[in-house]
Amino acid sequence: MLYILHELTKQSMAPFVSLSTWGSKLFSDPFSPYAYIPNSRHIAAGFELLHRLGKDYEKPKWDIPEVEVNGQKATITEETVIEKDFCNLIHFQRSLSKNPKGDPIVLIVAPLSGHHATLLRDTVRTMLQSFDVYITDWIDARMVPMSKGAFHLDDYVQYVIDFIHHLGPNTHVVSVCQPTVPVLGAVSLMASNKDSIQVKSMTMMGGPLDTRESPTSVNGLASKKSYTWFETQLIHRVPSRYPGHNRPVYPGFLQHAGFVAMNPDKHMQSHYDYYLDLMRGNDMEAESHRKFYDEYNAVLDLPAEYYLDTIKIVFQEHQLPRGVWKVNGQLVKPAAIKKAHLLTIEGELDDITGRGQTQVAHKMCSSIPEKHKQHYEVEKAGHYGIFSGRRWRTKVFPVIEAFINEAEKSAK
């Protein structure tokens, strides 16, 4: 019912959103006489802000036409190499490589936690300078017909295994936030089963491997509420206008509301600053705001089974660190991993994944030699700062680049 109410609200707002677009142009277009009346900038800015607060945000494009490789411009071509019901594997094909013999293959496992994989655009763009990059591009659950069946955390793990098999034994896996759990599960199972394909390295960034370590407000909600509460209060059916009609999901708009509620003052100030920038003609600052919120406000629905599995297994029962997590009936044993190098990365000021929650992977992966393990804490970085922005590009990426190159060299 809540999802239907949300859709009705969007539809009722649509005329006002369209009107605000027209009003903004009317009072800002240099060919409009209304652009020259007193306070026209104020009025245009108000209409523009109303438009952005009410508009529907679609999945952004990757928009990575080229990157610099060895001082030269390399053109980028997006290619979907594997299509699955709930995820596509995307390859960013470069016209140049850093190493004439071929660069290390990097599989970036993007989070399935409310935002589209394009949230990692800066991550991908930077990694492409040195590596052959693939990424998991998760599909909005409301767009997946019921005939495709359910999607559980076990299925997520199997997807990762399938993608690694496709890419082969020269793969380095980078997991950002939520996927650190299924990635560690996948690599552990492959090691336990003596799979012919083993990844060369695992880079785990800001992931909830053990949420008992330095619990955050995000972890607190999961521990305070019962599993039944999440099941009855947060799971809703997809309305009829979407291909996934009647599929049970955790709606993206609820997740987005939760994100905003964590820092409401920050978002209110950001929108007020945007209004002032429009009024003053600060086009560069205004465009920066648009780019950020075009990404931040574009959300997707999560399959209910996967979301509830994550709540129970990761946040409530801590099955992975307790050594009792089973995937398709098989116990996950991180200690079985012997060959892969391990790098964990945490942000000093991360308010989503607490300090120590990712570093605990070193204890779990007890069979990896200490010389092949590394931990890096990013000073003054929040959650998003470890994979996007200036600190990511100048502080974090050089560490990852050196780590992957060393793992590549050691494997030869």
Residues 372-395 have a mean pLDDT of 95
Which tokens is 50 given? 């109303």
pLDDT at 56: 82
Bridge partners (DSSP) listed for residue 205? 176, 345
Bridge partners (DSSP) listed for residue 302? 250
Which single residue is written with the structure tokens 């104020």? 42
Q: Which residue has the higher pLDDT, 103 or 410?
A: 103
Parts of the chain belonging to CATH 3.40.50.1820: 66-222+302-410
Amino acid at 49: L
What sign does the dihedral 314-396-89-161 (CA atoms) show? negative
Q: pLDDT tens-digit profile of 201-242?
A: 999 999 999 999 988 877 877 888 999 999 999 999 999 989
Please tell me the distance from the alpha carbon of residue 211 to that of residue 27, in angstroms, as a whole number.
Answer: 51
Percent of the chain with pLDDT over 90: 67
Strand ranges, E, within 334-412: 341-347, 373-378
Please tell me the distance from the alpha carbon of residue 359 to that of residue 353, in angstroms, as a whole number.
Answer: 11
Q: Is the pLDDT confidence value at 332 over 90?
A: yes
pLDDT at 260: 81
| Among 248, 276, 259, residue whose Cα is nearest residue 49 | 276
Confidence band, pLDDT 50/70/90 cuts, at residue 412: low
pLDDT at 39: 85
Q: Pick 66-222+302-410's CATH classification: 3.40.50.1820, 2.60.120.10, 3.40.50.150, 3.30.70.20.
A: 3.40.50.1820
Please tell me the distance from the alpha carbon of residue 136 to that of residue 149, in angstroms, as a whole number.
Answer: 20
pTM (two decimals): 0.91
**What 3-state DSSP class applies to 365?**
coil
Confidence band, pLDDT 50/70/90 cuts, at residue 244: very high
Burial 212-233 (b: 16+ CB within 10 A, else e): ebebbebbeebeeeeeeebeee
Please tell me the distance from the alpha carbon of residue 194 to that of residue 257, in angstroms, as a whole number.
Answer: 44
Amino acid at 126: T
Confidence band, pLDDT 50/70/90 cuts, at residue 411: low
